[in-house]
Structure formats: structure tokens, C-alpha cells
Amino acid sequence: MTEASDNSPAHFIRNRIRQELESGKHERVVTRFPPEPNGYLHLGHAKSIVLNFAMADEFGGETNLRFDDTNPIREEQRYVDAIREDVAWLGYAWAHECFASDYFPTLYAYALHLIDHGLAYVDSQDGDMIRAQRGTLTEPGQPSPFRDRSPAENRDLFERMRGGEFADGAHVLRARIDMAAPNINLRDPVLYRIRHQKHPRTGDEWCIYPSYDFAHGQSDAIEGITHSLCTLEFEDHRPLYDWLIEHLPVPSKPQQIEFARLNLDFTVLSKRRLMRLVDEGYVDGWDDPRMPTFAGIRRRGFTPRSIRSFCTEIGVTKSESIIPFGALERNLRDDLNERAPRRLAVLEPLKIVLTNFPEDETEWFEVANHPQKPEMGTRKVPMTREAFIERGDFMEEPPKKFFRLKPGGEVRLRNAFIIRCDEVVRNGAGEVTELRCSFDPESRSGQPGSERKVKGTVHWVSAEHAVAAEVRLYDRLFSIPHPAGDKARDFVEFLNPESLKVIGNARLEPGLENAEPGEHYQFERTGYFVADPDSTPDRPVLNRAVTLRDTWAKLEKQLRG
């Protein structure tokens, strides 16, 4: 359903799957994306989504969307809805929508199976005690005094746990593996906890809930997942994952494969930290365009295609790295360069008066919507006696290499004609308020004899036709590359105070007042913009998605040293 990923680098997961299919170990590939519905998705999740769907797509398999909803305390329906929307927005269609909670009866039966085989027991100590007995990396753990309860006694207690007889924390169910195992995850891990808590989907049906480790692998097996792709922090859990699959009557044997998570500079990718930015008001909500959440990047103007190509390009490895935010922006630029119609917009307007242009007349210039794509058509752009240019495109005392407008100098108004600045008008405070210019009728763009060249070209809008708009210029959310890297400092100390600059009085080419939220444009010479959901015909609001060039590359180099 997505375009062939021709920029896909080879990586160990792809190679391994290919080999397994060739050797006949698997006949098909089934993957899953398993979010916990306890927060909104961010760019880190995008990496996992793209990897899971790409592996199934490439090898003719399928991918499930599985909500890992085993912890009812922080899970909410609104997150389920948002996650669905986000995965679909990225361009993927899942084969089955699954919920770990749908497997609660099966998981419960699996727990009884372990009990009956002497492989699980009810421990009646509290959490602190169990933790204290776990041992360390250098010391073995201590067996619980309840470790040798008989299967019959364990079954009775576990059934009564499920029946609601006990308070939270009174008992837990633990696997009976090896308290001296070098891997701490194998020291009789907890499989079930008592939690008298209403679940968003199962309501009051259950008062015991499976642990992540007990639910995850078994859910994979129930769904026939062949490759359970997850991030490196679960590497140490794999022996437990395998132990459970081996000792339970599961319908299939999935394998867990770990890869390094995505880290991006100048931002944070963790639900917990993102939640703080929202809760403490550092940003304007989950969809603030500076946030790396799906809601945020979508509003900022990132496209699904740019995110997919970014995730493909960065590849998949087992070693942690930090990807420059600029790499993400480059993918957006590449996408929008192809697709975004060009428009003229002046962000900081300076008025010019064309003294030899007739009053009350409008000249319409036919302008291509995309310089390399005639199929994108043309539009008519009006010119009048008064127009606006960018304040920064005029300098009274310019340095040598300044090729834009200066007193007595000439510049081409893009797609129109050449003008000369004859006079600078100032207000009482000495500020330049207007330039009186004359235009050269012989220099009209596209006309025979208009070849006369001047060094500079600037953009403009007719003063009479211009649409006043709000333009929001977004920049990096943090001012240092690794805001969460300094354990002694709170990451919010490094928020970039200039991450949002609002321009209240930009002037746009007419027509843009009807830009629909989500529509992209390139404002010539200025950047790529997207209409914000706040935008209305009376008050258009456009967000800068990305600049035309990477202005951070140089700075980042300096910061990296």
C-alpha cells in the first residue's frame, strides 16, 4: 500500500527474515505494533510502526495493531482512538485490531497450566519483600517461603485471587524458575497482580491483571506473530519470553528481536517527559507543533511520506545513536519540494509605491504553481501601484554582496518586472516606512526583450489584494542537542525560548485565505508552510513546517564540537 521503499538500507532484521523464509523456518511473516494506550504516539513509535509494517509488506505478510492494555490504571479510550488515527495517518492498514485484554481468559488458563505443572506459585509476601529477595547482579536471590506450596494450594489461592477474595497486594502469582539465575528476570518473575480496578474494556470482570512479561509473548503467540520486534530494553527479558513460550501450550512460537530505539536531538521522546511539557504548560497541548507527537508533527506540517522515508533511511541497528532533527526536516523538504504549490507571501512587509504604475489599475501576471511541474498549472497574480516587499530585502547601507534592493539600486520583483528604488520615505522616528520606486515596463517577465538581468530577485504582494495573516514560525523545542542527557539538570531548563515566533501581520497572495487546514505551500524564498486548524478565511493562520535550507546544520556542527 506504500510506495516501494527504494531507499531502504539492508539491516539485520530484514536479512534475518529473508534467510528464515528461504530456509523454510517460516512460511510467512506476521508482525504487530503493540502500543500501551497510556499516552499519545511520538516519533519514536513511528520508527517501530514503519519497521513492523515494512517487514510484513516486503515479505507478503501482515501486521496487527495490538493495544497492550494490561494495566488499567493509566489506560484510556482517548489514547486508543488517537493511536488508530495516527497509524492510519502514517499510511498503514493493519490486518487485525487486537487487545491484550481480549486474551485475559486464555492468559488465565495459561497461568493455571503453569500452576498445575509446578511452574508457578502464589507468593503471599508484599512487593517490598519480594524485591528485597531478588538479589543483585552479583548475588543470587533468596527463595520465598511460599515457593514450595503445592499445585493444589496454589490453584486454590489463585482462583480465590481471581474471585476477588483478597485485597490489592495480598498475593501475587510468580513463575517458578530459578532464584539464582544470572538474569534477574528469571528469578521467579511476577505474572499476576491483584488490582481492584475497573478496566476500560473488561470493566469489573477481572481484579487480577497479568504483568507485561506474561501478557506480551503469549499475545504474540495467540495472534501467530512470527517476529516480535521490540526495543533493546527488552533484550534481558527475552530468556523469560522464551521460557514462557516453551512451557505453555501456545498455538505458535514467536521470536523476539530487539533493535535500538530512535533518539532525536533537540527534543525528547518519552511519554513521561512529553506529558510534563503538556501538564506544566510549557507547550500548548499535545498537538503543539513543536511537540514530537504525531498530533504535533502533523500540525507542524510534516507529511506521512516524509516520516516514512525518514524512518526507512535511518535504518535499524542494535546500537544506540542520536539522529539529527535536521535529517527529519530534510525528508520533509524533499517531499514538499515535489508537491507543494509555490506562492508569494511577505512576512515582514515594507511598502513600495511604483510611481510610474497607473493608479487604480491591476496587472495580472500568469505564474506557474511549480517551476518544474507544468502539470501543477498556473494562477494569476495581481500587481498594483502599491505593493509589499520583505523588509529584509531592502538595506539603506548594504554590504558589498547585498544584491537585493538599495537606494538607487534595481531588483526584479519575481515573475513581474524590474524596479528601481528612487526615494526612501521615513517617519518622524527616522524609520523607513515606504520606498518610492519606478518599474521598467520593458522588463516584464516572460516578454520578448525582458532578458535584461539584475542580480537580485525578491518576492512581493499587491497591497490592494494582499491577505493579512498570522504566521507562526517554529523552531527547535530545546536549545541544546541532548536536553535529557544531563542527569543533574531538569530537561525543561533547556527549552528554547525562541521556539515560537508569531508574526501577526504577514501579507499573503490572494487565494491563500481559503487554504484548508493541512494544505501545504512553499512561500517563495521563505519556507514551507501549512495552514493551521486555527485558520479561517477572515484570519488565515499558517505554520512554518520547515525552512528552505538547513539553518541549523552549521550551528549543530559548532555545538557538537
* Residues β-bridged to residue 259: 231
Q: Which stretch binds ligand ATP (CB under 6 A): 44-52, 100-108, 316-324, 503-511?
A: 44-52
Please identify which residue in the block is written with the cell numbers 493562520. Answer: 541
User: ∠ CA(82), CA(83), CA(86), 5° rounding?
Assistant: 85
**CA separation for the pair 152, 472 (Å, rounded):** 67
35 binds ligand ATP (CB under 6 A): yes
Shortest Cβ 209–ligand ATP spacing (Å)? 16
Residue 326, H or E segment: helix 325-339
Q: Which stretch binds ligand ATP (CB under 6 A): 28-36, 190-198, 354-362, 459-467?
A: 28-36
Shortest Cβ 213–ligand ATP spacing (Å)? 13
Q: Which stretch binds ligand ATP (CB under 6 A): 30-38, 107-115, 161-169, 290-298?
A: 30-38
* All cell numbers assigned to 389: 516587499
Does the annotation mark 271 as catalytic?
yes
Does the annotation mark 198 as catalytic?
no
At residue 471, what are phi and psi to the nearest 5 degrees?
Answer: -125, 130
Q: Which is nearer to ligand ATP, 272 or 400 (CB)?
A: 272
Tell me the angle at which helices 104-116 and 151-163 cross, rounded to the nearest 10 degrees.
160
Among the listed residues 493, 496, 83, 81, the one whose alpha carbon sits nearest the alpha carbon of residue 276: 493
Shortest Cβ 268–ligand ATP spacing (Å)? 9
Q: Which is nearer to ligand ATP, 44 or 540 (CB)?
A: 44
Which position among 13, 30, 40, 48 is part of the footprint of ligand ATP (CB under 6 A)?
Answer: 48
- In order of 97, 188, 241, 484, the CA distances from 214 in angstroms are 20, 12, 8, 31
Residue 472, H or E segment: strand 467-474
36 binds ligand ATP (CB under 6 A): yes
270 binds ligand ATP (CB under 6 A): yes
**CA separation for the pair 518, 534 (Å, rounded):** 11
* Residues β-bridged to residue 194: 208
Q: Which is nearer to ligand ATP, 267 or 462 (CB)?
A: 267
E-assigned strand segments in 73-215: 97-99, 120-123, 172-175, 190-194, 208-210
Shortest Cβ 45–ligand ATP spacing (Å)? 5
90 binds ligand ATP (CB under 6 A): no
**CA separation for the pair 483, 325 (Å, rounded):** 13
Is 506 in contact with 470 (CB distance < 8 Å)? yes
**CA separation for the pair 286, 267 (Å, rounded):** 14
Which position among 187, 271, 342, 544 is part of the footprint of ligand ATP (CB under 6 A)?
Answer: 271
* All cell numbers assigned to 423: 526615494
Shortest Cβ 164–ligand ATP spacing (Å)? 28
For 248, residues 6+ apart whose C-beta sits below 8 A from its C-beta are: 110, 113, 114, 218, 221
Neighbours of 441 (CB within 10 A): 12
534 binds ligand ATP (CB under 6 A): no
292 binds ligand ATP (CB under 6 A): no
Shortest Cβ 306–ligand ATP spacing (Å)? 17
Which position among 14, 17, 29, 45 is part of the footprint of ligand ATP (CB under 6 A)?
Answer: 45
Which position among 54, 90, 262, 546 is part of the footprint of ligand ATP (CB under 6 A)?
Answer: 262
Residue with nearest beta carbon to ligand ATP: 44
Shortest Cβ 44–ligand ATP spacing (Å)? 2
Does the annotation mark 261 as catalytic?
yes
Which position among 261, 339, 436, 482 is part of the footprint of ligand ATP (CB under 6 A)?
Answer: 261
CA 136, distance to chain mean position in Å, is 37
Q: Which is nearer to ligand ATP, 45 or 238 (CB)?
A: 45
Residues in contact with ligand ATP by CB under 6 A are: 34-36, 44-45, 47-48, 230-231, 261-262, 269-272
Q: Which residues are catalytic?
A: 36, 261, 271
